[in-house]
Amino acid sequence: MKRMLPAGVLPRNLTLRQTAEFWGVSYNTFRRLVRDGIAPPPMNVPELGRMLFDREQQERAMDALRERV
C-alpha cells in the first residue's frame, strides 16, 4: 500500500524524475544541470538503493539562479 502525504504537503526528498519535474525540465536536461554543477547532486545514502534529492536544497539552487539574472 502506497502511503500518501496529506494534501498540500510536499515531500522533502524527491526522486530523479520528480526533481526534474520540479525544475520544469526533462530527465536528461536535469542530469546535465547536475553534471554542470547548476543543480545540487543527490544525497549519498547507499542503503536507500536510489538517488534522492533534497527539495529544499534544490529550491535554494533555483533562488541562486534567479538572483544571477
The predicted-structure confidence for 46-62, as pLDDT tens digits, reads as follows 888 888 999 999 999 99
How confident is the model over 5-29, as pLDDT tens digits? 778 778 899 999 999 999 999 999 9
Q: Which residue, 13, 24, 21, is CA-closest to 53?
A: 13
pLDDT recorded at residue 9: 79
Helix then strand then coil, % of the chain, to nearest 5: 50, 10, 40
40-to-3, 7, 8 alpha-carbon distances in Å: 27, 27, 24
61 CA to centre of own chain: 10
Whether residue 32 has pLDDT greater than 70? yes
pLDDT recorded at residue 8: 77
d(CA 49, CA 21): 21
pLDDT recorded at residue 17: 94
Whether residue 1 has pLDDT greater than 70? no
